[in-house]
Amino acid sequence: MHLEEILAGYSQGYFLMADEGGQLGWYGTRVRTLIPLDDRFRYPKSLRRALNQNWFTVGMNQAFAAVVAGCADRSDTWISPELQEIYGELRRWGYAHSFETWQGEQLAGGILGITIGCAFIGESMFYRIPEGSKVAMVKLVEHLRARQFLLFDAQLMNPHLARFGAYEIPDREYRQLLQVAIQGKCRFCD
């Protein structure tokens, strides 16, 4: 796949996934899950201690390949080796990013995403240390707000995301929001 084809697919509201056989394809959904970037965002009270006591430090793109590998390291994964290579290529072009939490020198967790304009499309997340990915979520939302991102697309709902205030919208509404967001000029990092 070429960079232009990949960006065009994401810009139209599709996302890449590999099936059980490793075959890569474009997917869409009838409803899309968004993480709110406004006051609807919330996090579990149990997480406050980890945040207040600074159990973790955050980083961006310091361990991109390790975050991709961590996201793919599951018994049932949709992140095939081919998709890992695509993420690497998107990283080299400045479109894919990792947002990481660290405890000392140890990678605690991370979130993998793609940015186009002022849209952050969250692909996956993982943790190695409890609360690592949750703290990454809170800090990533703070970062996206500070950078004036308009959209945090989480693609598919799950109970973990619901705890952060994630909500679903119809695909048609999502595509309208996406078109506005991708026209923006946000920078994920300097």
Give the C-alpha distances (Å, rounded to integers) separating 149 from 24, 70, 74, 123.
29, 25, 30, 16
Give yes or no for residue 113 having a pLDDT over 80. yes
Residue 160 binned pLDDT confidence (cut-offs 50, 70, 90): confident
Helix or strand holding residue 78 (H, E): none
Does the residue 188 lie in any domain?
no
In a domain, 129, yes or no: yes
Q: Is residue 32 part of a domain?
A: yes
pLDDT in tens, 40-58: 999 888 888 888 888 999 9
Confirm whether 87 is domain-assigned: yes
Both tokens assigned to 65? 């390949």
Is 141 within a domain? yes
On whether residue 187 sits in a domain, the answer given is no
Please count the structural domains in the chain: 1
Domain encompassing residue 39? 3-182
Does residue 63 have a pLDDT over 80? Answer: yes
pTM over 0.85: yes
Helix intervals (H) in 93-166? 132-146, 159-162
CA 117 to CA 110: how far, in whole Å? Answer: 22
Which CATH number covers residue 90? 3.40.630.70
- How far apart are alpha carbons 157 and 49 in whole angstroms? 26
Q: What is the pLDDT of residue 52?
A: 84
